Amino acid sequence: MDKLIITAAITGAELNKTLCPALPITAEEQGLAAKESVEAGASIIHLHVRDDQGNPSQKLEHFQRSVNAITKACQTSPIIQFSTGGAVGEKMENRIASLALKPQMASFNLGTMNFGEDIFVNTFEEMRALAAAFKKYKVIPEFEIYDAGHIDNLKKLIKEGLVEPPYHCQFVLGVPGALSGEVSGLVFLVERLPKDSTWGVAGIGRFETPLAVHALLMGGNVRVGLEDNIYYEKGKLASSNAQLISRITRIAKEVGRDIASPQEAQKLLNLT
């Protein structure tokens, strides 16, 4: 079984410090959170950024300053994975723009869906434009799969020749309006992946730890962090992203699954 790749989703686009005081908002806070996350076992930083008022942003200058802060803070450089999802309602042209900075990886959302009380729009026309931008800037996509039909959408893009293997897939399960976070759903999704795929899972809220444990036992990878879940246990807020990562690292070691360093993750994901 390959070493476990842990992704730290450190900030997200939907939360604020009122809900979670430990949430890193500024570039400097994100740099520190990334440093602590890597030291706890993460090899990938999934990055959303904020403007000077703390609002979600897709501007290049905001991504660049966070990248600079993370690079400066981390002795061992993680893989920095940009979000092209942004906040719900963000225009696709703005979501695509950050790829011009040529990160090693970025997220690629695979379909329109209910997202809580909102609608997260990703039409096929938009996905084709996104795929073209990934090719233009030579960025490796991580395909975000919130529901079963998103795998069929990925297969459609493969058939059209718009994306190439290996296909790095992240199941994001437990978002209200999409597929829930039961383990049976994870097993179903893994069985339907196209060949030449790697996969990981991000469980939202209470699903984070149970899905992470099953994924590491099944040979998949794991995403945890304050973007996905702000509680360490029921009723108790997490003190940091690193606290959530450290739990997964400990469990993985106890069941004999070694943790991938950032350099090892690059090789496992064919980024080198």
What digits encode the pLDDT tens for the residues 122-131? 999 999 999 9
> Following DSSP, what letter does each residue of 110-156 receive, concatenated?
-S-EEETTEEE---HHHHHHHHHHHHHHTPEEEEEE-STHHHHHHHH
pLDDT at 227: 97
Q: Is a pLDDT exceeding 80 seen at residue 89?
A: yes
pLDDT of 48 reads 97
CA dihedral (122, 123, 124, 125) positive or negative: negative
pLDDT, tens digit, 9 for 90 and up, residues 207-227: 999 999 999 999 999 999 999
Once rounded to an integer, what is the mean pLDDT over residues 4-32? 97
- Average confidence (pLDDT) over 242-271: 97
pLDDT value at 144 more than 80:
yes
Tens digit of pLDDT for each residue in 155-166? Answer: 999 999 999 999
Cβ pair 249, 6 in contact under 8 A: yes
| Dihedral sign for Cα atoms in the order 224, 226, 232, 234 | negative
The pairing of beta strand 167-173 with beta strand 197-203: parallel
CA 69 to each of CA 184, 198, 203, 208: distance values in angstroms, whole numbers, following the listed order: 40, 29, 27, 27
Sign of CA dihedral 237, 245, 269, 65: positive
Q: How confident is the model at residue 268 (pLDDT cuts 50, 70, 90)?
A: very high
Q: What pLDDT, on the 0 to 100 scale, is given for residue 86?
A: 83
**6-268: which CATH topology?**
TIM Barrel (3.20.20)
CB 208 within 8 A of CB 244: yes
pLDDT at residue 272 tops 80: no
pLDDT tens, residue by residue, 33-56: 999 999 999 999 999 999 999 999
Q: Concatenated DSSP letters for 205-265?
A: GGGHHHHHHHHHHHT-EEEESTTT--EEETTEE-S-HHHHHHHHHHHHHHTT-PBPPHHHH
Query: pTM for this structure?
Result: 0.96
Nearest to 181 by CA among 223, 143, 141, 142: 223
Residue given tokens 């529901």 in the structure block: 147
Our measurement of the distance from residue 148's CA atom to the centroid of its chain's CA atoms, rounded to an integer in Å, reads 18
pLDDT of residue 259: 98
Residue 62 to residue 21: CA distance in whole angstroms: 21
User: What mean pLDDT is predicted for residues 139-145?
Assistant: 98
- Rounded CA-CA distance 93/101 in Å is 15
Radius of gyration of the chain (CA): 17
